[in-house]
């Protein structure tokens, strides 16, 4: 049985998830061993995140004009090239075949390719799904796209750890090949969506980030991104600071990421497929779960309650993320689906960009303060949903 075009889109997002999670696991220690500081290493990812934020909306609009398939393929090819460009300087430097003076700019360039081109796949994939899916089923379809990416983030460290036994660079080259395979599958199997350019009126109003049907969703997504990114970037420190007497702390960190991803996927299946809920209810109940989980993490310092909080947190993200993407899509006209998906993709990296200047200073005062802060932000999200007519509907 051959893959359908939509299946190849899901596989493409899966391959992106593979590399995204493994890059954060392996590149920092390799770079530090070769003489780069923690600040330099974080700048590699920060510059890429800024590029992603600046280009995602552009690629969404480009998919409206040049086709979802072409832009999705471009993103996967760019992502595959970025993995090769990122690991090759490290590979050569380890063997004294590359001047260490040029290592930092080379790594910035390699990761920058992902921010500039790799950002094209997500908005094109979600816009294509919106084109071919009814409003009633859109939340379900978006959840399955999200699940494909999350499965990749779970499998990345596992598969990458096995391939790492061969050589340090093997996982990166394998993941890049998988991305190229996904691009070929999309090229041959993905049928054009039903959006026909000649049927779109020339005087149609193009949406902007500040449009009435756009900015409420972007504001919600920005706060959600900060809450999630601050957790991901602080959780390693939190475990070492809170459970320092526990053995095998790195294993606890790995289990945290695995439980978070698995519970998110399970939540998406339960509340968008098996027992579907309205988008507004998903946003409200998901935010309530986030409030509860952040509060319990901050107040209770027991390993059992910590893992329970992580599972509940995954349920909350599994409810809010697909509901937010679906609600934004439903609020737009067909010819603006790519632009809307691009704008949403542009705010996803904002959390990673602002965590060092907003979240981490709060964490440095007291680890619990950061999670109290996140719970307060989520309370604000609930009030925003209740008060804003577009989100409420």
Q: Which CATH number fits the domain that encloses residue 335?
A: 1.20.1250.20
pTM of the model: 0.78
**Residue 198 pLDDT exceeds 80:** no
Number of domains in the chain: 2
**For residues 146 and 341, is the Cβ–Cβ distance under 8 A?**
no
Domain membership flag for residue 201: no
For residues 250 and 322, membership in a common domain is answered with yes
Domain edge (last residue) among 159, 191, 223: 191
**Residue 136 pLDDT exceeds 70:** yes
For residues 47 and 131, membership in a common domain is answered with yes
**Residue 199 pLDDT exceeds 60:** no
Burial 298-330 (b: 16+ CB within 10 A, else e): beeeeeeebebbbbbbbbbbbbbbbbbbbbbbb
Burial 8-30 (b: 16+ CB within 10 A, else e): bbbbbbbbbbbbbbbbbbbbbeb
For residue 326, what pLDDT is reported?
85
Task: Flag the least confident range among 8-12, 98-102, 247-251, 257-261.
Answer: 247-251
Q: How far apart are the first and last CA of the chain?
A: 41
Domain membership flag for residue 207: no
Q: Which domain holds residue 60?
A: 5-191
Domain edge (last residue) among 158, 191, 224: 191
Domain membership flag for residue 197: no
Give dist(CA 256, CA 235) in Å, integer.
8
For residue 2, what pLDDT is reported?
60
For residues 179 and 299, membership in a common domain is answered with no
Domain membership flag for residue 99: yes
What is the average per-residue pLDDT within 351-366?
84
For residues 169 and 254, membership in a common domain is answered with no
For residues 26 and 172, membership in a common domain is answered with yes
For residues 222 and 290, membership in a common domain is answered with yes
**Residue 196 pLDDT exceeds 70:** no
Task: Flag the least confident range among 111-120, 253-262, 367-376.
Answer: 253-262
For residues 179 and 242, membership in a common domain is answered with no
């Amino acid at each position: 049985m051959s893959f359908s075009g939509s299946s190849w889109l899901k596989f493409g997002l899966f391959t992106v998830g593979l590399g995204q999670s493994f890059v954060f696991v392996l590149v920092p220690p390799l770079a530090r061993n070769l003489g780069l500081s923690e600040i330099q290493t974080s700048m590699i990812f920060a510059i890429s995140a800024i590029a992603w934020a600046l280009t995602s909306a552009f690629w969404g609009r480009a998919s409206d004009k040049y086709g979802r398939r072409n832009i999705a393929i471009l993103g996967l090819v760019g992502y595959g090239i970025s993995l090769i460009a990122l690991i090759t300087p490290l590979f050569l430097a380890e063997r004294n075949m590359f001047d260490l003076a040029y290592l930092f700019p080379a790594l910035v360039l390699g990761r920058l390719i992902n921010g500039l081109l790799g950002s094209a796949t997500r908005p094109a994939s979600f816009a294509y799904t919106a084109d071919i899916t009814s409003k009633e089923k859109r939340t379900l379809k978006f959840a399955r796209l999200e699940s494909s990416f999350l499965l990749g983030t779970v499998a990345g460290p596992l598969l990458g750890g096995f391939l790492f036994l061969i050589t340090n660079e093997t996982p990166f080259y394998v993941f890049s090949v998988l991305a190229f395979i996904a691009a070929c599958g999309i090229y041959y199997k993905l049928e054009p969506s039903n959006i026909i350019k000649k049927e779109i009126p020339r005087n149609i109003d193009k949406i902007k980030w500040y449009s009435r049907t756009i900015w409420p969703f972007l504001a919600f997504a920005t706060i959600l991104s900060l809450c999630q990114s601050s957790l991901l970037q602080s959780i390693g420190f939190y475990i070492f600071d809170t459970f320092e007497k526990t053995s095998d702390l790195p294993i606890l960190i790995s289990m945290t990421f695995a439980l978070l991803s698995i519970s998110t996927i399970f939540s998406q299946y339960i509340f968008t497929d098996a027992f579907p809920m309205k988008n507004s209810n998903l946003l409200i109940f998901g935010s309530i779960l986030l409030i509860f989980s952040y509060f319990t993490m901050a107040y209770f310092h027991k390993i059992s309650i910590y893992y329970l909080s992580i599972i509940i947190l995954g349920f909350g993200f599994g409810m809010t993320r697909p509901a937010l993407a679906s609600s934004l899509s439903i609020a737009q006209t067909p010819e603006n689906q790519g632009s809307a998906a691009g704008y949403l993709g542009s705010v996803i990296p904002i959390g990673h960009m602002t965590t060092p200047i907003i979240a981490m200073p709060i964490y440095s005062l007291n680890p619990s303060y950061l999670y109290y802060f996140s719970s307060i932000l989520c309370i604000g999200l609930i009030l925003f949903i209740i008060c804003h007519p577009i989100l409420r509907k």
